[in-house]
Amino acid sequence: MRKGMIIIKKAYTDPIIIRPGAAADMTDWLASRFGDGAGLVVCDTNTYRHAPPSPDKLVFGSDVTATDIRAGEIATAISERRPAYLVACGAGTVHDLTRYAANEAGLPFISFPTAASVDGFVSNVAAMTVDGRKVTYPSTAPAALFADADIYGAAPAALTASGVGDIVGKYISLFDWKAAHIITGEPIDADIYALEEDAVMRVMESDIKSADYTEKVMECLVMSGMAIQYMGNSRPASGAEHHLSHLWEMHCINPPTDALHGEKVGVSTLLVLEEYKRLAREGIEYRRTGGYFSHSRLNPVFGELTEGIISENTPDPFDGITAGHIAAVQASLVGLIGTLPDTCYIRDYLRSCGAKTTLTEIGLPDTGEFINMSLRYAPYVRRRMTLLKLSAAR
């Protein structure tokens, strides 16, 4: 990492090497760490050519998704081949599958990202789709990360743009963390908050046309992942904007889309940002009625996933919250919204780096009805308190 990067606690992931030629560094490190012990490289048909030398590779198709079924395939390979370690060679999906399988098997894994597309490379949580529902599991953080700029720098520009979308979403996740502190008293770790905030600002202040822009994006994605690792969960990096993305990935209100994770997060950030600005203008109310977590309310939208949604929101995340309390803190929440950037500023930045900014561009309905459904039902997918969860409780 570059000088000046905030390092606040001893990292579990060590070393972290981001530079041209890092693939060779990984080969040397593996030899020194594991000797003749063989590893299992998890990759897909797009990233296979970048995989480090190893007799054992598990190659998924380019359209692989992070499901319990795919993780089971890794578990089977581990049982049959008995590797000393795993290597995640790819982007977000490959990493989620590998970290989940590594955690289940009690094996170390090494992160070898091939594109600057998401912030989860060094995190210790895995976003998995299990029985159709998007679930985040505590998992294993990588023992080391080697990001070779010669490799990820040559990835399609759309992948880097996706990474920017993921980073831009931190405006909302950090806001929601502070909002939750105001609403429920949830504690904030100032050092972790500062690390995540620094990652956002480094990207937003970088010259998109500079030769090292992709490297800066990768560095900041890793910084964000380290914030998750230090925290032990995704609170610093995932708020209402990610909940919309998770809802869309569950296909409850929309057909499947091929959009990348960061592309969805970038678009959802704009929608949530606009909604929060509206709340500041029109007022923030909490007027939850009975049956908010009832089958009759949820089943028409979530269907067979309803039980999981209710379980996710148990115990009641609104326990102790009253309309009077929200009225008392409304001025603080409105003032906090005032610190968020203008929607047009974020949209223009995303467009300038080639990122997608509309629902149509990510294959989703760009209608008022769909937007309202997204904003209303996305807060159910996580128990985590956000301003959107509060405002949607009606």
pLDDT for position 4:
39
Structural domains counted in the chain: 2
Sequence-separated (6 or more) residues with CB below 8 Å from residue 159: 91, 115, 116, 117, 260
pLDDT for position 138:
87
Residues 207 and 320 in one domain: yes
In which band, very low, low, confident or very high, does the pLDDT at 10 lie, cut at 50, 70 and 90? very low
The H or E element spanning position 43 is strand 39-44
Q: What is the mean pLDDT of the chain?
A: 94
pLDDT tens digits along 140-174 = 899 999 999 999 999 999 999 999 999 999 999 99
Rounded to whole angstroms, the Cα distance separating 70 from 68 reads 6
pLDDT for position 393:
92
- Cis check: omega of the bond before 317, within 30 degrees of 0: no
User: Torsion over CA of 33, 34, 40 and 42, rounded to 10 degrees?
Assistant: 0
What tokens does 388 get?
């959107």
Residues 132 and 214 in one domain: no
Q: Give 111's strand partners.
A: 88, 145
Residues 276 and 385 in one domain: yes
CATH number at residue 87: 3.40.50.1970
Q: What is the pTM of this model?
A: 0.93
pLDDT for position 9:
42
Q: Is the pLDDT of residue 366 over 60?
A: yes
* DSSP at 20: T
Q: Is the pLDDT of residue 3 over 70?
A: no
Rounded to whole angstroms, the Cα distance separating 284 from 331 reads 9
pLDDT for position 112:
98
pLDDT for position 242:
98
- Residues of the domain holding 39: 16-155
Question: Which one of 155, 176, 198 terminates a domain?
Answer: 155
* pLDDT, mean of residues 14-35: 95
Q: Is the pLDDT of residue 394 over 90?
A: no
Question: Which one of 114, 138, 155 terminates a domain?
Answer: 155
Residues 176 and 106 in one domain: no
* pLDDT, mean of residues 246-250: 96
Percent of the chain with pLDDT over 90: 89
Pairing of strands 57-60, 125-130: unpaired
Whether 257 maps to a domain, the answer reads yes
Tell me if 389 sits within 8 A of 377, measured CB to CB. Answer: no
Residues 76 and 135 in one domain: yes
What tokens does 384 get?
């985590």
In which band, very low, low, confident or very high, does the pLDDT at 324 lie, cut at 50, 70 and 90? very high
Residues 231 and 357 in one domain: yes
Question: Which one of 114, 136, 155 terminates a domain?
Answer: 155
Rounded to whole angstroms, the Cα distance separating 296 from 174 reads 33
Whether 58 maps to a domain, the answer reads yes
pLDDT for position 8:
37
* pLDDT, mean of residues 118-124: 94
Q: Is the pLDDT of residue 316 over 90?
A: yes
Rounded to whole angstroms, the Cα distance separating 64 from 70 reads 8
pLDDT for position 119:
95
Q: Give 129's strand partners.
A: 67, 134
Q: Is the pLDDT of residue 1 over 70?
A: no
pLDDT for position 341:
98
